[in-house]
Chains A and B, each alone.
Chain A
């Protein structure tokens, strides 16, 4: 509650208020200009994922036993390794660049799947109500009341860890929240008179739902989508770290952390640096989603 008292000479009848943007006070740096930095970071990570060979200074598969476990900012016969090298002498920075692709791929595809499932089920639950509504919502609740992480471990060890299985398992973590949002919106829209009018003029039910429910939930879905990419990324990293997710020779950041773990006491950078990268990425997604939220809130 900042209160500024301004001394004005009495002849000035107009106020000369300093223009402090109030949204700056309403939220965190998400509302300031700092979010540009995080957006730029995400753009860079996306560029890594799209063209890893352009950004990676060295071949991420070439062994170089003479230059094993070099610390950050050290030089080898090949050149400089600003993130150091691992126990086989492979440049860590190159591995991190190469890891961006699969990290993003899994997170985005799994979240998309989860979003699709959640939106569809939420719409069905909201539109048909009754038994289907109860079944779908109870399923979602049951899931939130479960140690889902253990369930995922169980699933992956039963089915055998692979990228495909991971992409099938991860959406189960995210669909309930989308279902809840879409269901609430569908219930509300179902009551609206313009839906009755649309049905009366002969539009089919799915068309009505698609045309009227979706546009209303898109802003919220978008915000959630960005947040959930971060969550899925963390979940994938966790599962890969525990050895039930992505398997070598594929690379993700979570797997790099796992690879570095046995050498934690001698080569900390192998564990810490990929984690820093992952953390900043998820943080950027969180901050960006808050920015979207404010934008959508202001537009509504």
Chain B
């Protein structure tokens, strides 16, 4: 770590060798940033739970007497001084002890750990769909700005961004599950259960990917080398696929990667709830309804850690591929 600390704060990576020089220090720096972010999040949750809210009241059943509340407070060590609690809280969290779920009668981490793979699966299928919509549409629209297709698809994508994601899920249920009965309305009863929630994600996030890919394509199409390629006599399609996409490929992949991270920022959880998909979103919202603080905080911290790791992977992949292109 010390070697990393000594490098300048400027985002200039020392270039060593041909392939991906300086990736090691970058990885370390990003890891450090990620850990700082995570610590910040844990601290915020602690402050919220222990300073802004009254933990004893939060943990107690609604009809609890004063004595019972006091007992709960002692049980969770709430009678100890503030800094002691802060320290032990951190120690607990970073050793994987997120407390016991009162609702599920088992460790909160276990409940979250069980839900995590389902959320990962749904987000991955959803983002692939979004990437297919967004990238193909964005390239076709961006390569002919002002065309009918461009204007039409642009409007559709803005609409997709304006629609509440959970409502879109309900709309799809009404149309495809209630009216046509093609897919199950909710739950997880077979492979077809994933279609509607994934489609909801694909539409909403596909809209954003579309916007970003479109503008990247438009920008690339205005570069001088495109005119040179056209001066060789190549038809539009060949200029696009043979020249422009070679250049926008990496940007496009990165856009999809960022969008995946973004998906974890919100949309997926409400969509899970709409379709009763047994992931982190459904778990969290049910926990919120039952005032199950330990599951809630475990979900936030685990999901946060996942987002930080995903962020890191997208960033590093971009650097590695970028370096390889430049080095070849």
Given A150-B300, A153-B284, residue A145 in contact with residue B311 (CB < 8 A): yes
CB contact between A138 and one of B36, B291, B304, B311 (< 8 Å): that residue: B36
Given A150-B299, A279-B167, residue A268 in contact with residue B288 (CB < 8 A): no
Q: How far is the CB of B275 from chain A (nearest CB, A)?
A: 12
CB contact between A144 and one of B146, B151, B185, B265 (< 8 Å): that residue: B265
A242 to B119, CA, bound (A): 18
Contact of A243 with B293 in the complex, beta carbons under 8 Å: no
User: B308 near A: Cβ within 8 Å?
Assistant: yes
Q: How far is the CB of B116 from chain A (nearest CB, A)?
A: 12
Contact of A238 with B285 in the complex, beta carbons under 8 Å: no
Contact of A154 with B48 in the complex, beta carbons under 8 Å: yes
User: B317 near A: Cβ within 8 Å?
Assistant: no
Q: Which of B64-72, B79-87, B171-179, B243-251 contacts A (4 or more CB under 8 A)?
A: B171-179
User: B189 near A: Cβ within 8 Å?
Assistant: no
User: B52 near A: Cβ within 8 Å?
Assistant: yes
Given A158-B48, A286-B158, residue A272 in contact with residue B288 (CB < 8 A): no
Contact of B269 with A149 in the complex, beta carbons under 8 Å: yes
Q: Is the interface of B mostly helix, strand, loop or mixed?
A: helix
Please tell me the number of chain A residues within 8 Å of chain B, measured between CB atoms.
Answer: 53
Contact of B285 with A145 in the complex, beta carbons under 8 Å: no
A242 / chain B contacts, CB cutoff of 8 Å = 166, 270, 273, 285, 288
User: B297 near A: Cβ within 8 Å?
Assistant: yes
CB contact between A257 and one of B40, B164, B173, B285 (< 8 Å): that residue: B164
User: A53 near B: Cβ within 8 Å?
Assistant: no
Q: How far is the CB of A131 from chain B (nearest CB, A)?
A: 13
Contact of B167 with A271 in the complex, beta carbons under 8 Å: yes
Contact of B296 with A149 in the complex, beta carbons under 8 Å: no
A41 to B154, CA, bound (A): 20
A69 to B19, CA, bound (A): 67
User: B53 near A: Cβ within 8 Å?
Assistant: yes
Contact of B285 with A243 in the complex, beta carbons under 8 Å: yes
Given A158-B52, A238-B266, A275-B170, residue A286 in contact with residue B162 (CB < 8 A): yes
Contact of A159 with B53 in the complex, beta carbons under 8 Å: yes
A279 to B300, CA, bound (A): 28
Using an 8 Å CB-CB cutoff, how does the interface string of B249-290 with A read, 1 for contact, 0 for none? Answer: 000000000000100111101100100000011001100110
A151 / chain B contacts, CB cutoff of 8 Å = 41, 44-45, 300
Q: How far is the CB of B257 from chain A (nearest CB, A)?
A: 13
> Which residues of chain A (243-261) have a CB below 8 Å from chain B?
243-244, 254, 257, 261
User: A141 near B: Cβ within 8 Å?
Assistant: yes
User: A241 near B: Cβ within 8 Å?
Assistant: yes
User: A147 near B: Cβ within 8 Å?
Assistant: yes
User: B107 near A: Cβ within 8 Å?
Assistant: no
B58 / chain A contacts, CB cutoff of 8 Å = 158
Contact of B37 with A148 in the complex, beta carbons under 8 Å: no
Given A146-B41, A242-B285, residue A287 in contact with residue B53 (CB < 8 A): no
CB contact between B167 and one of A139, A278, A287 (< 8 Å): that residue: A278
CB contact between A150 and one of B289, B291, B303 (< 8 Å): that residue: B303
Given A28-B154, A146-B307, A147-B300, residue A272 in contact with residue B171 (CB < 8 A): yes
CB contact between B158 and one of A28, A149, A243 (< 8 Å): that residue: A28
User: B217 near A: Cβ within 8 Å?
Assistant: no
Contact of B174 with A268 in the complex, beta carbons under 8 Å: yes
CB contact between A153 and one of B163, B174, B296 (< 8 Å): that residue: B296
A241 / chain B contacts, CB cutoff of 8 Å = 164, 166-167, 270
Using an 8 Å CB-CB cutoff, how does the interface string of B142-157 with A read, 1 for contact, 0 for none? Answer: 0001100001001100
New A-B pairs, 5, CB < 8 Å, besides A145-B308, A150-B269, A279-B167:
A27-B154, A145-B261, A151-B300, A272-B167, A286-B162
Query: Which residues of B are at the interface with A, using a C-beta cutoff of 8 A?
Result: 34, 36-37, 40-41, 44-45, 48-49, 52-53, 58, 145-146, 151, 154-155, 158-159, 161-167, 170-171, 173-174, 178, 185, 261, 264-267, 269-270, 273, 280-281, 284-285, 288-289, 291, 293, 296-297, 299-300, 303-304, 307-308, 311
Can you give 9 contacting A-B residue pairs, CB < 8 Å? Answer: A146-B265, A147-B266, A147-B269, A234-B165, A238-B164, A238-B166, A242-B166, A257-B170, A285-B162
- Nearest 5 A-B pairs (CB), nearest first? A25-B146, A149-B266, A275-B167, A283-B162, A282-B162
